[in-house]
Structures are given as C-alpha cells and as structure tokens.
C-alpha cells in the first residue's frame, strides 16, 4: 500500500463511526433511511473486519459487532427502526468468523431491499385511500408517506398537498420540493396554520418513527396536533409505517424515549443574547406521541390495520419472543 493510499483508506471502525455521526447530526435522517444506513454500516463493518483481521476469533468478532451495534443504536433514541434494523441484521451463528460475517452481510443486504420494497408496497396499498381530487396534509419528510402520495399521483389521481414546514429543522421544505418536482401542486404552511387549513384537507398522511403496543404513533413534533385537528374536522388520519417501526420493547412496558435536541436548532446563541432570552429555557423535543384514538389506519407492507392491532403485528409479524424484548 502506498503512503497516499494509506492516508485515504479509513478503517472499518472509522467508516462505521462516520455513519453513526451522520445519523446523529441528521445528515442521514428519517426512520427508514436511518434503518437502511445502519444495516448497511453493519454489513460493511462485518465485511471490513473479516477482510482486515482474518485471524480474529468468533468471540472477538462478536465484541466488535456488539460495539458497532451499540454505537449505531446510541445515535438517536426515538426511531425504533434503528434498534430493530440492528437487531435483525446483527444475528449470526457463533461458529466461524467467515460464517458469522457472511450472515451479517447477507442480512444487511436483505434488510435494505426489504425496506425499499416495503415502502413501495405501502405506497401501492395506501394510495387506494386517496380519491381523485383529494387534498392531503402532511408533516416533516416521511419517505413512506411520500410513497403513498406519489403512488396516488402516478395512478393518475388529481391531488394536491399541504405540507407543514416542520419547525425547527424545516424538513417540510424537502417534502414540498420533492412533491412539487413530481408535478403535484403543493402549498407550504407554517405549522401553526395546520388547524386553519384543515377544512381544505380530505385526509392527513404522516410517517412514523415508532408504533407502540397501544397503537400510539411517535412521529415528528407537531404530528399529534395535526391528528387532533383532523379528528375535530372528521378527516381521516393515516400513518404509513413499515412493520419494523413497531416497537417490541413497549410490550414489556417500556416507553419510547422522545429525543430532545439542542436549543440552537430553535434559536442561535446570538439571538438568545440579543433578545434578552438568556434566562429562558428553550425546549426542543423532536417528536411527539399521537394517541391511537386519533388514528384511523396504519398502512404497513402487509396491509392496513387499526392501531388496536399493533400487538398482533409485533407478536406475529416481528415474531420475537417477549423475553427477548426485556
Ligand atoms: C423524521 C420523521 C419522519 C419519520 C418517518 O424525523 O419524523 O416522519 O422518521 O420517515 P427526523 P420515513 O427528520 O428528525 O429524522 O417514512 O422516511 O421513515
């Protein structure tokens, strides 16, 4: 290896940390993309450590994979797609390092293609709930909610979208740009205008970071007030969620941790000083919880369900032993 090559070659650890850092700083964001990135990072790490250290024991391999899993899972606490993806990919026979790494690599590839396929299927299933002429409200930037909206558009339905801007990170701008580029008429509104515009809306479609055993949906901050306004106006509130976004740990009573991010996303330190806010606490929760009674349907890749069916999806479809979730 030349000096130049050695300076540009990163270690498997550095590559994995770089993905973890991307998830943490939200360069990689959205529950499905985070899960795919984590799966890909684990597969690449398994490949990397096997190629670099052909002499390691299965116990050392396991230690390294455990470190990788913990590093990835500790980046963002709310999207359950992340620990679920890591758990699905990071199971391997404790026989030889060759077998173990091959299994991880294969499972990572399978997870990524399953995830993409699930989003496509949810689009096809969910678009049946959209009628010609409908106006859809959405929040944040959910690839799976967008899959439904795009599928309806591609099916020739004449639809329009109201996108909430999604303070403080403004992911609604990404949604508005993506849908508008596809030729869908989009209005962008401030989040606090959601109830005002609800009378023009036929249905609300959002993504999910987690679905609990009770059927409550954890998604971008502001989602629950959309659900409340939709309920008040008797508009359907539909959640697009792959089965790997259901949270097995909630069966054993765990809560989903709501990530609270830096105050600097809301207001800069200079503005805090200039506006006399130095003694004011700035709060920045990234997600909220929508209770099941405000959710009409959850669209998954295996069909549509009322929130009350969440236990069946966790138990039958994810198929994990309950004690595994403790
Ligand atoms: C993203 C967000 C999305 C869900 C679902 O939050 O709340 O609605 O993750 O997205 P953030 P998808 O921008 O903080 O990651 O459907 O793409 O999985």
Q: 134 and 20, same structural domain?
A: no
Tell me the C-alpha distance between 121 and 45, whole Å: 29
Please report the pLDDT score of residue 4 as a whole number: 44
Strand-pair partners of 163: 138, 188
**CATH number of the domain enclosing 157:** 3.40.50.10470
Helix, strand, coil in percent for the chain, rounding step 5 = 55, 15, 30
Is residue 135 assigned to a domain? yes
Residue with the smallest CA separation from ligand 1 atom 6 is: 30
Q: 135 and 75, same structural domain?
A: no
Say if residue 84's pLDDT is above 50.
yes
Annotated catalytic residue within 134, 140, 164, 296:
140
- Distance from the CA of 127 to the center of ligand 1, in angstroms? 19
110-116 mean pLDDT: 98
Neighbours of 226 (CB within 10 A): 27
**Do 205 and 146 form a contact (C-beta atoms < 8 A)?**
no
Annotated catalytic residue within 134, 164, 209, 296:
209
Tell me the backbone φ, ψ of residue 268, rounded to 5 degrees: -80, 155
Sign of CA dihedral 193, 196, 199, 200: negative
Tokens of 37: 């990135």
108-125 mean pLDDT: 98
- The total number of structural domains in the chain stands at 2
- How much of the chain exceeds pLDDT 70, in percent? 94
Please report the pLDDT score of residue 3 as a whole number: 43
Q: 167 and 303, same structural domain?
A: yes
Q: What is the pTM of this model?
A: 0.94
- Cα–Cα distances (Å) from 244 to 84, 276, 320, in that order, read 6, 45, 12
Domain boundary among 118, 144, 166: 118
**Do 172 and 164 form a contact (C-beta atoms < 8 A)?**
yes
Neighbours of 267 (CB within 10 A): 16
Q: How far is CA 59 from the centre of its chain?
A: 32
Upstream peptide bond of 315 is cis (omega within 30 degrees of 0): no
Please report the pLDDT score of residue 275 as a whole number: 97
Q: 305 and 191, same structural domain?
A: yes
Please report the pLDDT score of residue 52 as a whole number: 75
Tell me the C-alpha distance between 175 and 52, whole Å: 41
Say if residue 310's pLDDT is above 70.
yes
23-46 mean pLDDT: 98
Say if residue 326's pLDDT is above 80.
no
Say if residue 318's pLDDT is above 80.
no
Q: 151 and 98, same structural domain?
A: no
Q: How far apart are the first and last CA of the chain?
A: 47
Q: 256 and 111, same structural domain?
A: no
Q: 140 and 107, same structural domain?
A: no
Structure-model confidence comparison of residues 126 and 10, the more confident one: 126
Is residue 173 assigned to a domain? yes
- How much of the chain exceeds pLDDT 90, in percent? 90
b/e for 145-179, b at 16 or more Cβ within 10 A? Answer: bbbbbbbbbeeebebbbbbbbbbbbebbebbbebb
By most ligand atoms within 8 Å of CB, the mutation choice from 145, 174, 208 for ligand 1 is 208
Verify whether residue 25 is a known catalytic residue. no
Q: What pLDDT, in 10s, does the model give residues 121-152?
A: 999 999 999 999 999 999 999 999 999 999 99
Domain boundary among 97, 118, 139: 118
Q: What pLDDT, in 10s, does the model give residues 160-183?
A: 999 999 999 999 999 999 999 999
Residue among 144, 143, 147 nearest 155 (CA): 147
Of all atoms in ligand 1, which is nearest to the CA of residue 259? Answer: 14
Is residue 206 assigned to a domain? yes
Please report the pLDDT score of residue 9 as a whole number: 64
Verify whether residue 164 is a known catalytic residue. no
Is residue 124 assigned to a domain? no
Q: 169 and 316, same structural domain?
A: yes
Please report the pLDDT score of residue 294 as a whole number: 98
Say if residue 94's pLDDT is above 70.
yes
Range of the domain at 105: 12-118
Tell me the C-alpha distance between 10 and 220, whole Å: 34
Please report the pLDDT score of residue 1 as a whole number: 38
**Do 36 and 111 form a contact (C-beta atoms < 8 A)?**
yes
Q: 179 and 154, same structural domain?
A: yes
Tell me the backbone φ, ψ of residue 205, rounded to 5 degrees: -130, 125
Nearby residues of 19 by Cβ (< 8 Å), 6 or more positions away: 28, 37, 38, 40, 41, 72
Tokens of 158: 């004449």
Please report the pLDDT score of residue 2 as a whole number: 40
Please report the pLDDT score of residue 221 as a whole number: 98
Q: 157 and 53, same structural domain?
A: no
Q: 27 and 156, same structural domain?
A: no
Q: 201 and 317, same structural domain?
A: yes
Domain boundary among 70, 95, 118: 118
- Distance from the CA of 142 to the center of ligand 1, in angstroms? 5
62-78 mean pLDDT: 97
Mean pLDDT value across the chain: 94
Nearby residues of 96 by Cβ (< 8 Å), 6 or more positions away: 58
Is residue 7 assigned to a domain? no
Is residue 6 assigned to a domain? no
Residue that the structure tokens 């740009």 belong to = 177
Is residue 208 assigned to a domain? yes
72-92 mean pLDDT: 97
């Amino acid at each position: 290896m030349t000096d130049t090559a050695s300076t540009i070659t990163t270690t498997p650890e550095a590559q994995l940390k770089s993905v973890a850092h991307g998830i943490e700083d939200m360069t990689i964001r959205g529950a499905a993309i985070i899960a795919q990135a984590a799966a890909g990072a684990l597969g690449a790490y398994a490949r990397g450590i096997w190629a670099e250290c052909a002499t390691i024991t299965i116990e050392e391999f396991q230690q390294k994979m455990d470190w990788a899993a913990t590093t990835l899972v500790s980046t963002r606490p709310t999207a359950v797609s992340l620990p679920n993806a890591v758990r699905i990919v990071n199971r391997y026979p404790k026989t030889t390092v060759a077998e173990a790494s091959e299994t991880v690599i294969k499972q990572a590839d399978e997870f990524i293609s399953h995830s993409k396929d699930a989003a496509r299927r949810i689009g096809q299933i969910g678009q049946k709930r959209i009628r010609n002429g409908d106006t859809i409200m959405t929040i944040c930037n959910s690839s799976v909610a967008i899959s439904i909206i795009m599928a309806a558009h591609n099916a020739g339905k004449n639809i329009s979208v109201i996108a909430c801007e999604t303070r403080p990170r403004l992911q609604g701008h990404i949604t508005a740009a993506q849908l508008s580029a596809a030729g869908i008429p989009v209005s962008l509104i401030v989040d606090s205008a959601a109830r005002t515009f609800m009378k023009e809306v036929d249905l609300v479609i959002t993504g999910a970071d987690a679905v609990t055993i009770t059927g409550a949906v954890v998604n971008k901050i502001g989602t629950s007030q959309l659900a409340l306004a939709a309920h008040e106006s008797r508009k359907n509130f539909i959640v697009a969620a792959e089965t790997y976004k259901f949270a097995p740990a909630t069966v054993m009573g765990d809560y989903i941790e709501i990530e609270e991010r830096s105050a600097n996303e809301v207001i800069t330190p200079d503005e805090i000083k200039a506006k006399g806010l130095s003694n004011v606490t700035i709060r920045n929760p990234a997600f909220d919880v929508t209770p099941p009674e405000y959710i009409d349907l959850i669209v998954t890749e295996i069909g549509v369900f009322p929130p009350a069916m969440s236990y069946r999806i966790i138990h039958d479809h994810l198929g994990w032993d309950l004690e595994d979730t403790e």
